[in-house]
Structure 1
Amino acid sequence: MSASDVPVDVVGRAIRLLLLVGEHPHGITLSELARESGVPVSTSHRLVNSLCREGLVEFEPVGKRYKPGLGLFRLGQQAGQAYGFAGAALPVMQRVTRQTEEATLMSVLDGTHHLYVHYVDGPLPVGVRSEPGRHGPLHCTSMGKVLLAFAPAEVRADLLERVELTPYGPRSITDRAVLRAEVERAAERGYATADEEHHAGLRAVAVPVLRPDGTVFAALSTAAPAFRRTLDDLVAMVPVLQAAASELGVRLPTR
């Protein structure tokens, strides 16, 4: 973060510190907080201690690290309930996993990334893991491509110009023209795939969850190790995902 990006108001600085703590579930020191946020150490200390008093942040004396507090967890759970991620989405996603025997994931668009909001683990010994609350790239994940493909035209055009094409996996898309073509194909087919683009040895397929008015709400994905599932295997699961997405589009709150 550059000096010009540092919030100048107290609330903005406190939010910036809270977000940083949330990005470090195993804890972050005061000096690291100050350095990463660009907020002076004395101000960081005062603000993060205020967050501790409210239960949003927890101070761990051993190691002198700040970690997400239970208050932050409670807020996250309340937000998840408001969006229907737990109550409405979980039973549908569990059913998908029973049918596919692989992990089922859900993400929403969040700026120039997608945000993992729900995850159901598969029953097989080796599978795909996900952490709700974490961000993922748009250009090299099946859910990211779907969210791009079904975003409003002006949003899609803007993101296709701005997303960073970082080569995360051995087959990551690093050419903007190739990404545009891939997103166009996803819009035409109604689904997107990722073949070892985000992580080596991982394949995934995703479909959009559309609101009744046709706007995209989220992306729903099945992900599996490449040694167990070919891309054709995953594409064969698209009808299962689409049926679930249609149900979720009706059940999830219209926001």
Structure 2
Amino acid sequence: MTKNRTPTDRVLDILEHVTFSDRSLGTSELAARLDIPKATVYRILTTLEARGYLSRHLLGPGFVPDAGLQQLSRGALDAPHYRAERHAILTELAETIGEACNLVLFEGTEQVYIDRVETKWPLQFRLEVGSRVPVHCTAAGKLLLALQPATHQSGFVNRMQLVRYTRKTICDPDTLMRALEDIAQFDYGVDDEEFLDGMVAVAVPLRIGAGPPRLAVATHAPVSRMRIDTLLHYLPDMRDAADRI
């Protein structure tokens, strides 16, 4: 690493390393990785902790991202100019598919609806922006979990309450971990009536910068109108929308 970085560079380097790591990182390791004096790293870490961007890992040494960092990312996602552009892309996608389309954020053991365009059909499954739904039984939730580092996956699965919502909900941790392997290989997620009886969904990742994705574009439909196989025909359109967003 070059030694002529500015103080701001050092803060951002530390934030990025902690955010995208698959485990907690401590002062000594960050100092060695980034070629920054330990005293400087410690000072930056304590400042970021005080501001709520990082916190000390409850189960071991080192630091992990905290709520302040999530709020910062949510604020960026809600910026007016970005919100208008992405909503227009989601609207175009919803018109192409003929079903509701969503932008969702992976947050802990839940997914949060960041943006949404409804279908024009009378029969709708309505979820307002800001709604939270479980990760283990939704297309976007399983997809984003599958694309996290392996140690994060097992930690999330072990923490989750794998509540049964339908007869197809995956409630066994080992079965879920095997499903995540397949999802990561194909790079899309599917919900085949796992969250709601009679509702199917497909999701693709939205990749921004380095690190595992935490956003996804998803669409869902009642099986009375569209089957999973039909939704999968729109994967190229969904991937194109995700790239443009």
TM range (shorter): 0.5 to 0.7
* 5+ long unaligned stretches in structure 2: 1-73
RMSD of aligned residue pairs (Cα, Å): 2.0
Scaled by the length of structure 1, the TM-score of the pair is 0.63
In structure 1, distance between residues paired with 2:80 and 2:155? 26
Contact 1:190-1:207 within 8 A present in 2 as well: yes
Corresponding residue to 2:166 among 162, 166, 169 = 169
- Counterpart of 2:207 in structure 1 is 210
In structure 2, distance between residues paired with 1:85 and 1:177? 39
- Counterpart of 2:101 in structure 1 is 104
Deviations 1:139-196 (A, max 9, x none): 1000110110112333222112211110012311111111111111111001010111
1:84–1:167: structure 2 CA closer, same or farther, 3 Å change rule?
farther
Amino acid across the alignment from 2:97: T
1:87–1:217: structure 2 CA closer, same or farther, 3 Å change rule?
farther
Deviations 1:17-72 (A, max 9, x none): xxxxxxxxxxxxxxxxxxxxxxxxxxxxxxxxxxxxxxxxxxxxxxxxxxxxxxxx
**Is 1:82 equivalent to 2:79 in the alignment?**
yes
Deviation, 1:235, is 1.1
**Is 1:223 equivalent to 2:220 in the alignment?**
yes
1:215–1:78: structure 2 CA closer, same or farther, 3 Å change rule?
closer
Deviation, 1:83, is 8.6
In structure 1, distance between residues paired with 2:100 and 2:205? 17
How much identity, in percent, do the aligned residues show?
A: 30
Contact 1:171-1:196 within 8 A present in 2 as well: yes
In structure 2, distance between residues paired with 1:147 and 1:83? 25
| 1:44-55 to 2 correspondences below 5 Å | none
* 5+ long unaligned stretches in structure 1: 1-76, 249-255
State how many pairs are aligned: 172
In structure 2, distance between residues paired with 1:108 and 1:99? 23
- Counterpart of 2:154 in structure 1 is 157
**Is 1:121 equivalent to 2:115 in the alignment?**
no
In structure 1, distance between residues paired with 2:178 and 2:186? 12
Amino acid across the alignment from 1:171: K
Secondary structure at the aligned position of 2:226 is classed as coil
Secondary structure at the aligned position of 2:216 is classed as strand
In structure 1, distance between residues paired with 2:167 and 2:80? 35
Deviations 1:67-98 (A, max 9, x none): xxxxxxxxxx9665339762232011011101
Deviation, 1:231, is 1.1
1:231–1:113: structure 2 CA closer, same or farther, 3 Å change rule?
same
In structure 2, distance between residues paired with 1:83 and 1:178? 41
- Counterpart of 2:61 in structure 1 is none
Deviation, 1:237, is 1.3
In structure 1, distance between residues paired with 2:168 and 2:81? 34
Amino acid across the alignment from 1:226: V
In structure 1, distance between residues paired with 2:167 and 2:76? 35
In structure 2, distance between residues paired with 1:135 and 1:81? 17
Scaled by the length of structure 2, the TM-score of the pair is 0.65
Secondary structure at the aligned position of 1:86 is classed as helix
1:84–1:112: structure 2 CA closer, same or farther, 3 Å change rule?
farther
Deviations 1:101-146 (A, max 9, x none): 0000111111111111111001222233221111110110001101
